[in-house]
Amino acid sequence: MHRDNGRTLYSRTDLQKVHGISQSTLQNLWTDRANNGHPDAEVIDGVMHWDGIVWAQWFHEHQRQRAAAVTKNAPNLFGDPEEEVGPAEAARVCGFADTSTISHYLRTPPEGWPEPDSYDLLPSGRRRPKWKRWKLWQYVAERKGRGHAGGRPKGRRGLAYPYQGDERLTLARQAIAANPGATNAELIPQLQAQTEKTYSRPTWNLILKSAREHPEDQ
């Protein structure tokens, strides 16, 4: 670390410590600088350094753009909400191209990314993370930069349970009561037709989950 006129300049080793990014990833980011806009380096005593604030701002934007780029696939919004899935299925749930984004999020999680619910111990001794489907659906519904409509209304903190007092929860309860054996996939199309604004499947999955867990106002 080097200080210069109020600026803090970080070496690659400093960036690794501050941001929790591996040396190989930092090297790859630098190698691809012609395409990703990586900030220029300042060489101090033969070692490359970067302005800490400039680099952090660039990296944040790079992550945002990368997240938008890898989520072009349609999310997989079917299955048991409580089922715990590993990285491969988690990638499909979120619409990621492959598990590389999951690996990246484990090291540097974006806003709203859920902590694993459990781990499988592999023969190699490594631990494989697993997430409940509904938590991944929640991330898909509420993640920034993707234009998904219909997350939880703003200013709704302090609720006893998700979507308490939301008119969509009432619709979901009515739909479940009228069709007790129906799956979420069967109920969502009719629910989407009952609101003036079209809400996404991840959002309706979360609302239906709350409606099943809380069939009456409490």
Cα(27)–Cα(31) distance, integer angstroms: 6
Which ranges of the chain have pLDDT less than 70?
Answer: 64-73, 144-159, 218
* Domain assignment present for 28: yes
Q: Which domain holds residue 29?
A: 2-69
* Domain assignment present for 76: no
* Domain assignment present for 204: yes
Final residue of a structural domain among 39, 69, 99? 69
Neighbours of 55 (CB within 10 A): 21
Q: Both 127 and 160 in a single domain?
A: no
* Domain assignment present for 77: no
Segment 34-89, tens digit of pLDDT: 877 899 999 999 999 999 899 988 888 777 666 655 555 677 778 888 899 999 99
Q: Both 156 and 212 in a single domain?
A: yes
Q: Both 52 and 93 in a single domain?
A: no
* Domain assignment present for 78: no
pTM over 0.85: no
Q: Quote the number of domains for the chain.
A: 3
Final residue of a structural domain among 113, 142, 171? 142
Cα(75)–Cα(52) distance, integer angstroms: 35
Q: Both 203 and 163 in a single domain?
A: yes
Helix axis angle for 100-107 and 87-94, nearest 10°, is: 100
Q: Both 154 and 208 in a single domain?
A: yes
Instruction: Enumerate the H helices of the chain as residue ranges.
Output: 12-19, 23-31, 33-36, 52-70, 87-94, 100-107, 133-142, 167-178, 184-192, 201-213
Contact 97, 75 (CB under 8 A): no
Contact 186, 176 (CB under 8 A): no
* Domain assignment present for 201: yes
